Amino acid sequence: MPQRVSYFGPAGTFTEAAALKHDPQAQLLPYPSIAAAAEAVSAGQADEAVVPIENSLEGSVNDTLDLLIHHTSLLIHRELVIPIEHCLLVPPGARESDIRAIYSHPQALGQCRGYLARRFPNAAIVPAMSTAAAAERLAREPDGAAAIATMRAAELYGMQVLDRGIQDNPSNVTRFVVLAHQDSPPTGKDKTSLCFTFGDDRPGLLHAALGEFALRHINLAKVESRPTRQSLGQYIFLLDLAGHRQDPLVSEALLALQRHVSLLKIFGSYPRYEA
């Protein structure tokens, strides 16, 4: 029986492409939000969920970070990286001069900001829930409109590709994670993601916490912060580090870290993506 994989849909998004790459034989289940895709796994309606977590141009996907920090006990089981190629879709027969409004997801609009400023400085920019939702809206409201979406979305909704590869940076990629009830066993080429915060605010707290990894020569691949949602000026720190939580040095560092922080949540250990 194929695995049931929920994903942030609908069909035709880059997340669907990541889900297909993760498990081509899976039964794919689209959900309207990142939180809903994860909840499907928690509720037993799916075995795994695929959601975006970071784009090389626009940075972290805040909805996924907030989900991992505050709203789920699911763990990261795997990561995937998908090249992002944005296409400009129009109704069949439409011309560039017809375009007065452009629909797309805010991340896609941000990734094509320079292109839009050069080619369509007077067009109205209209956010959509996803790139596929933008293509679907274009199919319903085609007059004077275009959408930034995928080649697959063009096929699904019968749209014409007016221009392709319109992202401002050719190295545009998005990192996706697979969420499940368990993370992955050690492979020797792993990454661990986690978050922590402090109970008070005094000089040297962050330095001491991060120093536990430096002391053990553990590389930190990513360090960022998010508001705690409790008080202005209080932050949760997020780390990606080299190694598996079961590796002796990593395990030792995590135990030492607990002495410095008031909250520590491990999002999972999983194989590092290698192209």
Give burial (CB, 10 Å; 0-12/13-18/19+) of 80.
middle
Catalytic annotation, pick one of 174, 192, 196, 197:
174
Give which of 58, 54, 142 is closest to 95, Cα–Cα.
Answer: 142
User: Which residue type sits at 160?
Assistant: Q
Catalytic site residue 174? yes
Q: How close are the terminal C-alpha atoms of the chain, in Å? A: 29
Residues 161, 154 contacting (CB under 8 angstroms): yes
Instruction: Report d(CA 160, CA 90) in Å as an integer.
Output: 5
Catalytic annotation, pick one of 8, 14, 120, 176:
176
Query: Within 13 Å and on the Cβ side, how many CA atoms surround 207?
Result: 3
Catalytic site residue 228? no
Give which of 4, 20, 6, 39 is closest to 150, Cα–Cα.
Answer: 20
170 cis-preceded (ω within 30 degrees of 0): no
Place of tokens 């590389």: 219
Instruction: Report d(CA 148, CA 166) in Å as an integer.
Output: 9
Instruction: Report d(CA 20, CA 34) in Å as an integer.
Output: 17
Instruction: Report d(CA 89, CA 137) in Å as an integer.
Output: 11
**Residue numbers annotated as active site:** 174, 176
